Structure 1
């Protein structure tokens, strides 16, 4: 199984267009220790020919151009993206669907019914696409049974509900329901190797922890370093947890959980906010991650399992 990170930043990307936090300012001043990042998305394949796209970020066209495997050019109009899997209905994970409207047939879209409802009513992306290529919707089951995706041979998928937060336009905002946000275990059917992917994870529940322990690699929420990061910078009045993201540091933070995983587990943080000090490769926080054997995802990162 091959995993390619198309985008590794949280909403807004890095640098964020209107932000002058220490990270964004350092990047614009030419710092060699800060890498630009697009908004989070990955793509996965078992055969290097058929790919499942996880989330469709606003920079999807740039991301496709940066990864030629997604455009094999076998005919006049072509793509190697066989299906799109949405983890949630957030703007930074769905706006790219507009950019895929030239598809010759309906897009094969996998998401939970609550996500589909938000994208029909609250932010009607799917309604708009009815006037273009259309959507062939598949409901993502949350009973933790394996399922296959047509056109993606050699891969098995298992989805599970996460306690995070729905978008501001969702009727479930601040009242999360199972299906608003999901995590997914992707299994290579031939080798049995597993990736657990959860770019938005607000609470560590027993079934989530079990999935992480079983995985060979975890690619998980790295949005903010501290719970009050945005408040301390004056960028927001919201904590990390209130936005649906488990902070990395502090009691019960992501680092504590990652430390408890087997030493053989590859640990990677993704969906990194522009304010997070781990974006500075020389920061004490980044050095702490390195000491703990935790990686920071970057655009173009390759993971092979």
Structure 2
């Protein structure tokens, strides 16, 4: 199984266009040792030629330009992207669909909850019907599926405890399928990865998937529960936004300490998170715990 991290930042990317926090300002003026990042998305393949795009960020065109495997190579109009799979209906994970409108009809895998959002409050599907159109394939919450053209991989969605998008009419009343994690298994090698860029709590099925996986690629949005409040950027905690912070009792570091996966990687990193500073104490602490920080272009082979 081949995994390419196309984008590793949370919504807004890093640096965020309107942010002058220590991280964003430091990257712009060269006083911070850090790397710019686009908004989170990965691509997965069993053969290195045909790929499932998991989440379509607003930065997808730049991500394709940076990833030769996704570029046209077999015909005059072509793409290495065989299908698109969505973890949720958040703007930073779905609006890249509009950038793919010049291609063929998109096979789109998402839950019924996400499909409703994209046909109602955020009507991307009706818009795309005037261009390439989409062919919906429902992601079940009770078993795994295989994607035609992606031989050898099985995808098993897991409902997560998190939040529907802010624009959703049930933002404060989450429904199963609003946000999912994905266990991806290579049926030939037996290796597996668990991907969850938005993870608010470790439910039993999530814990089991993380313990089973050879690689976990999970929510790295915030370092502290009150990070945005402390910086004066928001009145919301990490939990209010559906994310489990890295630090503190029961935080992501503690969770990953209990996981024996060969690779432990944080993704969907907010521009305020001190782990973006490669010289920070927080980054050093992650290294001591054997936890990696995803970056754009990162490749994982299992």
Distance 2:99 2:157 in 1: 26
Q: Would you say the 8 A contact 2:160–2:177 is kept in 1? A: yes
Distance 2:152 2:80 in 1: 15
Aligned to 1:26: 26
Aligned to 2:137: 138
Q: 1:122-154 CA deviation, whole Å, 9 max, x = no partner? A: 1101110011010100000001x2210111111
Which one of the candidate residues 247, 254, 275 is aligned to 2:252?
254
Does 1:113 find its partner at 2:76? no
Distance 2:244 2:65 in 1: 32
Deviates more, 1:31-40 or 1:252-261: 31-40
Which one of the candidate residues 273, 279, 283 is aligned to 1:282?
279
Which one of the candidate residues 136, 160, 166 is aligned to 1:168?
166
Q: CA deviation at 1:74?
A: 1.4
Q: 1:198-257 CA deviation, whole Å, 9 max, x = no partner? A: 000001100100000000000000000000000000000000011000011011111111
Q: Which runs of 4+ in 1 moved over 3 A?
A: none
Distance 1:133 1:118 in 2: 19
Q: CA deviation at 1:32?
A: 5.7
Q: CA deviation at 1:170?
A: 0.8
Q: Would you say the 8 A contact 1:50–1:153 is kept in 2? A: no
Deviates more, 1:12-21 or 1:70-79: 70-79
Distance 1:292 1:254 in 2: 11
Superposition CA RMSD, Å: 0.8
Does 1:298 find its partner at 2:295? yes
Q: 1:245-287 CA deviation, whole Å, 9 max, x = no partner? A: 001101111111100112x531000000000000000000000
Distance 2:73 2:92 in 1: 28
Distance 1:226 1:201 in 2: 14
Aligned to 1:119, what secondary structure does the other structure show?
helix
Which one of the candidate residues 198, 201, 208 is aligned to 1:200?
198
In the comparison of the two structures, how many residue pairs are matched?
302
Distance 2:77 2:32 in 1: 38
In structure 2, the gaps of 5 or more residues are none
Q: Would you say the 8 A contact 2:13–2:39 is kept in 1? A: yes
In structure 1, the gaps of 5 or more residues are none
Q: CA deviation at 1:172?
A: 1.8
Aligned to 1:150: 148
Q: CA deviation at 1:119?
A: 0.8
Aligned to 1:236: 234
Aligned to 2:100: 100
